[in-house]
Amino acid sequence: MKGLLTFMERWRPRSTHGFEPATADQVAVLAQPHGGLDALPRVYREFLATMGASTGALRLMWGTTSISVLLEDLGDHQQQRPDPRRYLKFAIGEDDYNGRHPDDFFDLSRPTPDRRDAAIIRIRAERLVSGKVAAEQPFPTFSDLLRAVVVAQVGLDVPDQQTPSYDLGPNPETPAKTYEFFTRMGFSLTELGASLAIVPLEHPGRGAIALISGSSPLLPGTGVEFRARDKAQHLLLEELIKDHRQELSGG
């Protein structure tokens, strides 16, 4: 979380203002049905201790991750709930003109190898209980969700400026080729870390940021987005990507 805050303030000063941590008592109550604090993925515990009460202007999904709302939901004993030993709800979908958005859960039965994180899924709770509807997996893990959302909202989403987005196709070699392409230009990893699914990169000299997204069930091809603060650098990056697009996609 310390690295995430540093990254956010570097790319958008004051973007972390409004973050409010959950209290230790709130976290303990949330964890109790799932087997206690040790059952919560460590990265989620760090998230709660940083912005569990409020994420300020940062929006992780169409809904809320506020611990007060999660605890209110937990107190509703009329709801159908999936097995708490396996599933931990960390976000509640909101209602809008499209209806009710789905909720987000940790699948505690699928931790990462270092056990700091776990797989996440997106589905309404009652549908998860019924087992009749397949859950979506917007990102492999909670860490990947944070990486993608933070880079998009803080680094790439700029008013009155379009962020180029390229689909480089489903070739399994493309993510590695794309990573090598950017590192040859001087880009490097950030404080956010990376995974096979989400790779944020930064070039301080160019004042540029890039996001490589690996193939997923929702987006079957490798995706690339980037932005440079300086317009000339931005246009140069666009030209380089266009010139090498076929090579990167394996065509």
More confident site: 33 or 95: 33
10 and 121 part of one domain: yes
Name the residue with tokens 């700029």.
Answer: 158
Look at residue 251 in the predicted model and tell me its pLDDT.
59
The domain in which residue 237 lies consists of 158-249
pLDDT tens for each residue of 52-65: 999 999 999 889 99
Q: In angstroms, rounded to a whole number, what is the distance separating the alpha carbons of residues 12 and 7?
A: 8
Average pLDDT over all residues of the chain: 92
The encoded tokens of residue 66 equal: 């506020």
Look at residue 160 in the predicted model and tell me its pLDDT.
67
pTM of the model: 0.92
Give the side-chain half-sphere CA count within 13 A for 37. Answer: 10
120 and 83 part of one domain: yes
pLDDT tens for each residue of 234-243: 999 999 999 9
User: Which CATH number covers residue 245?
Assistant: 3.30.310.180
Instruction: Evaluate whether residue 59 is within a structural domain.
Output: yes
User: Which CATH number covers residue 76?
Assistant: 3.40.1580
Instruction: Evaluate whether residue 153 is within a structural domain.
Output: no
Look at residue 175 in the predicted model and tell me its pLDDT.
92
68 and 113 part of one domain: yes
Letter string b/e over residues 95-104, b meaning 16 or more CB atoms within 10 A of that residue's CB: eeeeeebbbb
31 and 119 part of one domain: yes
31 and 105 part of one domain: yes
